[in-house]
Amino acid sequence: MRDILRRHFMVGTLGVAASALLPIGAWGQGPSTLVVAQAADAYSMDPAKHSAFPTANILFQIYDGLVTQDEQGNIVPALATEWSNPDSLTWRFKLRQGVKFHNGEVFNAAAVKYTFDRALDPNFKAPYYSRISQIKAVNVVDDYTVDFKTDKPFPTMLLSLYEGSFPALIVPPAYTAKSNGSDLGAKPIGTGPYRFVEWKKDDRVVLEANPDYWGGKPAIDKVVFRAIKETRTRIAELESGGASIAVDIPPEDMPSLQNDETKIASVPSEFLYFLAFDTTRDTPLKDKRVRQAINYAVDVDAIQQALLNGMGTRIALTLPSNGFGYDPAWKPYPYDPAKAKALLAEAGYPDGFTIPLMTRKGRFMKDSEIVEATVGFLAKVGIKAEIQYVEPGVWGQISEKHGREGITFPGWSGRDPNLVWMPLLHTGEYQSYYSNPELDKLLDAGAATIDANERKAIYAKAAAIIKEDAPHLPMLQPPLIYGLDARLTWTPRPDGMIDLRKAHF
């Protein structure tokens, strides 16, 4: 099947970019230095100013959230030591005492309030605003107690406060305010296990261990994040000793990296591969029948088998299969190109149409190959999707302007519909290119309901609308596959965040 896909859809292999190979000794590579090779550089060092996981991987070493996630996906304390609900509209957090930012500023309730007041300001336009938008006020109770107030019960508060929500990472008030955030965006200061040293744009970020970290000084003295877009180059750097962790290893390369020098670490991910359709502009995608046709036109199972060796998880809707409310009984649209053609003809496009398909290359494992295979299937029913590869920085700029036109392959994650369907499908949200008042009411209700059974019933109704209206083509949850230096002890997390706090050689 892989050969068939490659022959028909020209799914190629990335070559090694020799120019990206730099001397191993450039940053003192050795037992006290860990080098992470990932596909993209940081977009900004300000945690509230981006929406990209490669950026978050870097910033999570510098900053802390109130809560964090362990390797099993459980929410556990970080800068907050405990939490409670004095009433249904209040979340009270007791804060860790004795913590300081890297510049000596004291971490306390005022820092928490400043961080969230800043990110919640509508004029600030935080890309991940939807994750925290239900927080209406943050009140200081005392120096180490803070109350988060909501207008309605907020069942996913803890998921909205952990580091995967990005603007929930705590920033130092005085340092951030003195330059209106510009210093923070270039030279970050947090409370995390590593302190910022330097940032060479599109090349590397260098960090050093924080000897005063509240969680204990990390075992590794220096961490370097290198931006290496090409998969083959990342693998070559791992094999040569120039990288300690290489992200997004293709399944077919796993056997060759299990040896005395390197090894593989893999975990099922919470990431979502899907196509998103812009229904807000006047294109064929405004017609539900066209969107349904695209769902019928693409053989996702064949793509998964050919390109991921069957390692991914097929999803019926744009929600992780381990997410709250996901029903195993849900079924994706079957592969039926004849049905797709009939729907296109019914919608007035018997000869198909041309539409842009915007994506990034190298952001996710096998992303370009999956997109190219998808385009091949669409061509068979008359839809000419013109691929537009954009750099991560450009993607961020386009997203900030709500400029994702046509079809996109965006990627997303979140273990609750409130963290996925709300930002992606609710009218007017930053990442939404779709509007349905009936769905909006259900999403609002699910976001404001504490009772788990009631929430499941609400989201079951929402799922029926989403399935019928087809604002997305749900595809896969890919595995997370990392190549490691064989000497390294490190456990990956299912949310894709790289946490080096416990890493050691």
Nearest-angstrom CA–CA distance, 365 and 248: 5
What is the DSSP code string of 161-174?
HBGGGSTTS---HH
Please report the pLDDT score of residue 372 as a whole number: 98
The H-assigned helical ranges of 84-221 are 109-120, 129-132, 157-161, 173-178, 182-186
**Which residue type sits at 114?**
Y
Nearest-angstrom CA–CA distance, 302 and 186: 44
Please report the pLDDT score of residue 31 as a whole number: 60
Please report the pLDDT score of residue 10 as a whole number: 34
Residues of the chain with pLDDT under 70: 1-31
If residue 205 lies in a helix (H) or strand (E), which one and from where to where?
strand 204-209
Pairing of strands 222-227, 204-209: antiparallel
Which residue from 54, 39, 57, 16 is spatially nearest to 240, judged by alpha carbons?
A: 16
Which residue from 117, 114, 113, 81 is spatially nearest to 98, judged by alpha carbons?
A: 81
Please tell me whether the overall predicted TM-score, pTM, comes out greater than 0.85 for this model. Answer: no
Please report the pLDDT score of residue 179 as a whole number: 87
Nearest-angstrom CA–CA distance, 462 and 458: 6
Matching residue, tokens 């399944």: 251
Please report the pLDDT score of residue 13 as a whole number: 32
Q: Hey, which residues does 278 pair with through a beta bridge? A: none
Do residues 437 and 391 make contact, with C-beta atoms less than 8 angstroms apart?
A: no
DSSP 4: H
